[in-house]
Amino acid sequence: MGLLNQGKKEVIAPRSQSGQPNKLARVRLARELFSGRYRPGEALHLSGIAAEYQLDADSVMKVLADFQTLGMVTLSGKFSAIVHSPNPKEMKEAYEIRAALEEIGGRTAAPVLKGNTAELRRELDGMRAAFGRLDLDSFVEHDVAFHRSILQASQNEVLLRVWDSLAVDLRIRGVIGKVSRDFPEVVESHQPIVDAFEKGRGREAGLLLRNHVETILEFLKKSESDSGLHRSLRKDMETAKDVQQAFFPQQSLSIPGLCCETFYRPAQSIGGDYYDFFPLQGSRWGITIGDVSGKGIGAALLMASLQASLKAQALHPHSDLSSLVGDINRLVHASSPVNFFASLFYAEYQPEARVLRYVNAGHNPPMVLRWRDGRCDVFPLETEGTPVGALESAEYTSATIRLEIGDLLVAYTDGITEAEDHQGEFWGQQRLENLLRSCRDRTPKQIIKCVLDEVSAFSNGPSQRDDITLVVIRVKDDV
């Protein structure tokens, strides 16, 4: 099919013998829904769609279900669907998500693709050939394969899950027709990306991928058509929120000998704070909290990448926490955008001995509070080390503390201590410490409520400016 055939009746190709009728239907339906062939409010009769696209009823339902997820249609029973109007603002935000996603994936994929770009070159050749014969459908197939193969080479399942949850491939298929007049630039912008991967230049490849996506976004802005998604991204953001929530530990998770409660609230719909508990070999438990620079979608994606790197390293046998965090730092530095960093506190706990080994990479020091002989001692959990991702050659030190029955461990992000009042004053670490000293007989759940109430009363109205995370752990007398 040609790029310049608007207004003409297209000849319907028969089903391919490869058994992939849905793929062709997705390509054509996406293009025609996004390009405005179907008017907002128009009712699509599934029998008519099935006849035009030569699909059976089940295949039509599956294809339109994808568009319902995107907010482009609403299925009405088993016989019809109502078309909805897209919105430019939502389209812009969707491409901003994609730009961040591909930059991270590109940096991470570079070691795998160094000297190993044959597949990318094949897809680029396919794009050029499709452009030469003005075959839009073939072009988008090669374009989607090109970008998805990079994410697969990154070996980061989190990035692929986010790509799939946001239906990025469907968006590419849907809007590519609107940049047809800029096709030569779109096609050839892939060549520098291939060249950077061939030489193993991850940062360069990541920035080129971001630039490629942002360039397409600029072309779309110039298009006279309204090619955005109004309801789509709202639903996508809810999906992304659900995906991020799955990254956090289950409430039912129980560390022997500890009573744990947590609280997390992003400043936007999703955010860059991070905490986790997970079992390790030798009856140990990993405990971590972190804060990615920035807020919103970009911070959430980078948080997911940090979590994947940390778990991958921690679940392998190791003896030295400082070296482990050093390895994480190098991975994050190599696979993240410029000026990205994350504060990180990582600890490993041995329940039977009640021993906590830890590394603090530039994070607000968690506190251990211990009441005895009528006083309360506070032990800040600090070690030397910069935030991960800030410096490629950063070095870290580890420390150890033996917890006692009744001890209280509190970890938090700066959304707690940097909450502001109307005069711009921070609530501060000292107010937090003073409050915690009075919580000897309170449960972790009660302590979290107390802290949040005090922070809310202090700020007295100003909207939340940063993500908030609070982890409260009490040492019990049973293991």
Tell the CATH superfamily of the 248-475 domain.
PPM-type phosphatase domain (3.60.40.10)
List Cα–Cα distances, 349 to 274, 411, 458, in angstroms: 18, 15, 34
Per-residue pLDDT tens over the stretch 222-254: 664 434 444 455 565 666 666 666 667 766 568
Give which of 300, 304, 326, 303 is closest to 313, Cα–Cα: 326
- Could you give the angle at the alpha carbon of 411 between the alpha carbons of 306 and 419, nearest 5°? 95
List the single range of 117-121, 125-129, 232-236, 418-422 with lowest mean pLDDT: 232-236
Classified by CATH at the fold level, domain 1-242 comes out as Four Helix Bundle (Hemerythrin (Met), subunit A) (1.20.120)
| Rounded Cα distance, 227 and 104, in Å | 26
In the chain, what are the domain boundaries?
1-242, 248-475
Mean pLDDT score, 279-308:
85
Q: Do domains 1-242 and 248-475 have the same CATH topology?
A: no
* pLDDT single digits (tens) 314-347: 988 887 999 999 999 998 888 777 777 899 999 9
> Cα dihedral angle (353, 354, 360, 365), rounded to 10 degrees?
-160
Higher pLDDT, 219 or 377: 377
Q: What is the mean pLDDT of the chain?
A: 81
CB atoms within 10 A of CB 151: 23
pLDDT of the residue at 10: 35
pTM of the model: 0.58
Question: How many angstroms separate the CA atoms of 8 and 29, rounded?
Answer: 16
